[in-house]
Amino acid sequence: MQHAFEKIEPVLIVEVLTAIIIIWRIISAQRGKELFIRRIPGLNAIDEAIGRATEMGRPVLMVPGIGGFSIIALQALSIFSYIARSTARFGNRILMPVADATVYTVAEEVIRDAYQSEGHPERFDPDSIRFLSDRQFAFASGVAGLIQREQIASSFMFGEFFAESLIFAETGNMVGAIQVAGTVQTTQIPFFIAACDYTIIGDEYYAASAYISRNPTMLGSLVGQDFGKLLIVSLCVIGSVAATLVALNVPTLSSASKWLIDLFTIR
Amino acid sequence: MLEPIVRFFSAQPPAVLPYYVAGAVVFSVLLIFVLINLPSRMRKPLIALVTFLAGLFYAAEFFLPIDKTTQKNVLTDYLVPASKLGSLLGGMTLTLGILSLLRVHGRNIARLRAGWYNSLALLVAMVAMVVFGLMDSYSANATAKKVFNVLFEGMLINMDATMFSLIAFYIVSASYRAFRIRSIEATILMITAFLVMLGQVPVGNALTAWLPTEGWLASLRVENIKQWILSQVNAAALRAIAFGLGVGGLAISLRIWLSLERGAYFEKEI
C-alpha cells in the first residue's frame, strides 16, 4: 500500500495544488463566470448519430466497457444519460449491454431518470439495459451478436475497454453504424481511431459531460483541469531547465536546481 | 480502538458462519427498507454524507503520516474491511444482473420469440456452470469434477480463445482502412507503423544489418529507428495523454466526493 509520506511527497504537493485550483474554478463558475470550451468534433457527432438512428428507425447502442464501477464508468453513464434524453425525445430504441453488475444497477436508474426528466417514462424499456456477462469475451460475443441481430444505426462506446474494443468497433462498422468512442485506455485508442467515425482522446473523455451539459459546476471543473495541466507542464519545463543547469554545472544556479530536482523526485 | 471491527470482518470459523450470513442478510434488508422509505430530501444529504466519509477514509489513509517500521498509519488496518464492504455490495448487485438475464431470456423462451433456443441454451449453460462449479468446490463427487472440467477447460476457455483470435482478423480490416493514404496525416501514420513493424521482426532488422552498430550511422538501423519512435515520439504523446487523464480523473473524483457531480445524474445543482 502506497502512502503520500512514504515515497511520493511530490504527488501530495501537486495533487493538493491541483485540487485547490479545480475547486476554485468550480466556485467561480457557479458564481456565474462565463467560460469557453473549444469545439470537440466527437461530441458534436453524438446528435448527428442519434438523428441518423431516428431516420433509419434502428436502435442506438451504448456500451459502458467492461470495467467495474468506477469514476470512468460514472463518466460514461453521464454521457449515456445525455444520449438517453435525446433518444427519449425522438422515440429511438436503445440497447445498453453491461458487463458489471454494479454498473448495471446504476445504469438502469440513470437511464430511467433520463426518460423521466424528458417527460416520457412510458418509453423506457427495462429490457434495453441488459447484464450479459462479466467475462470479457463472453461479453464481447454477446455485444457482437446484438449488433448483428439488431442492425444498430449508431454505436456509442465510452468507458474502460480492453482487447474486446476492436470486436465491438469492427462489428459496428460491418453493419454500417456511425460510431463514436472514447476511452481512458491508451492502448485501445488506436483501435477506436482505426475503426470508429469519431474518437474522443485522453482528457476529452472527462470533458464530455461538461461539453454536452454546459453545467456550470462541470465547466468550472474542466477549466480547473486545464489549469492543473498547465501546472504539470510548467513543472516539466522547470524540471528540464533545472536538470540542464545541474548537468552544465552552472555555479550559482546548480545548488538551487538540485534542491528543486530533489523536491520533485519520486524515490 | 477499532480492533473489534477488524475482528468482525475477518474470516470466521464454520460453526458461526451461518449466523454471520443470516445477520448480514437481515441487516441488508433493514438498511434497504430504511433507505427506500426515507424522504427524498433526506436521502440525498445522506448519500452525500456517506460518499464524503468513504472518500475521506481513503484520502486520509493515503495522506496521513506512516510509522516507518510497520509502513502503516492508524487507518491502514481498516482498508481490508472497507474493501470487503465493496465486495458485499458487488455480490448483491450480481443478483440483480442475473435477474436481468433471467427476465430477458425467460421472456424470449416463454413467448417463443425468434432464436428462443439460444436463450434456452444460455440459461441451461448458466445453471450448469453454477451447479457443477459449486459441486467442484464443495463436493467430493468425481463425476461432477469431470463435468465441470469439460465445461470450463473444454468449452469456456476455448470459446474465449476463439473470440480473442477474431481480433487478429479485425486488426487487418481496421488497419487497412486506417492506413489507406488519403491525407498527409494518414501517410505519416502509415510510414511510422511500417517502420515500427519492420523493427519488430528479424527480416526488418536484417535489411539494415550492414550498417555499423556504433557511431551516427547506427541511428539509421531499423531497430534503432523503431526504438526512437517508441521511446521518444510515442512515449511523449502517451505521457501527455496520461497527464490529462490523471488531472481529469482527479477533477471528477473531487466532484463526486464533494457531491458536486449531482448535476449529471439528478439534473439539479446543489
**Cβ–Cβ < 8 Å for A205, A184:** yes
Q: What is the pLDDT of residue B195?
A: 94
pLDDT digits (tens, 9 = 90+) for B41-69: 888 888 889 999 999 999 888 888 888 88
Average model confidence (pLDDT) for chain B? 87
B36, B62, B152, B177: best mutation site toward chain A, by most A Cβ within 10 Å? B62
Distance from CA of A223 to the nearest CA of B (A): 10
Q: What is the pLDDT of residue A4?
A: 66
Give mean pLDDT, residues B232-254. 91
Put simply, the chain B residues between 101 and 120 with a CB less than 8 A from any chain A CB are: 101, 103-104, 107, 115
Q: What is the pLDDT of residue B91?
A: 82
DSSP B149: H
Q: Looking at beta carbons, which residues of chain B come within 8 Å of A179? A: none
Give mean pLDDT, residues B10-27. 85
Q: What is the pLDDT of residue A42?
A: 85
Three-class secondary structure of residue B114 per DSSP: coil
Q: What is the pLDDT of residue B82?
A: 84
Element (H, E) at B130: helix B116-138
All residues at 6 or more sequence positions from A60 whose CB lies less than 8 Å from its CB, including other chains: A49, A50, A53, A83, A87, A92, A93, A94, A95, A152, A153, A154, A155, A156
Higher pLDDT, B191 or B92: B191
Per cent of chain B over pLDDT 90 is 45
Distance from CA of A258 to the nearest CA of B (A): 24
Q: Looking at beta carbons, which residues of chain B come within 8 Å of A216? A: 269
Look at A5 and B63 and tell me if their CB atoms are within 8 Å.
yes
Report how far residue A99's alpha carbon sits from residue A205's, in angstroms, rounded to the nearest whole number: 20
Look at A5 and B66 and tell me if their CB atoms are within 8 Å.
yes
How far from the centroid of its chain's Cα atoms is residue B75's Cα? Answer: 26
- How far apart, in Å, are the Cα atoms of A249 and each of A237, A263, A264? 18, 19, 19
Q: What are the φ and ψ backbone dihedral angles of A183, each rounded to 5 degrees?
A: -150, 160
**Cβ–Cβ < 8 Å for B186, B179:** yes
A31, A81, A160, A166: best mutation site toward chain B, by most B Cβ within 10 Å? A166
Nearest CA in chain B to A165: B167
Per-residue pLDDT band for B122 (boundaries 50, 70, 90) equals very high
Q: Is the dihedral of CA A222, A223, A224, A227 positive or negative?
A: positive
* ipTM score assigned to the predicted complex: 0.85
Asked if the C-beta of B233 comes within 8 angstroms of chain A's C-beta atoms, the answer is no
Among candidates A98, A138, A167 on the partner chain, residue whose Cβ is nearest the Cβ of B167? A167
pLDDT higher than 80, residue B6: no
Per-residue pLDDT band for B39 (boundaries 50, 70, 90) equals confident
Q: If chain A, 267 residues long, is cut into consecutive pieces of 10 residues, what is the mean pLDDT of each piece?
A: 65 86 90 83 90 95 94 91 93 94 91 92 92 94 95 96 94 95 91 92 87 85 92 90 86 80 74
A:B CB pairs within 8 Å: 195
* Beta carbons within 10 angstroms of residue A26's beta carbon: 24
Q: What is the pLDDT of residue A8?
A: 61
Q: Is the dihedral of CA B143, B145, B146, B150 positive or negative?
A: positive
Per-residue pLDDT band for B90 (boundaries 50, 70, 90) equals confident
Put simply, the chain B residues between 46 and 65 with a CB less than 8 A from any chain A CB are: 61-65
Put simply, the chain B residues between 121 and 160 with a CB less than 8 A from any chain A CB are: 156, 159-160
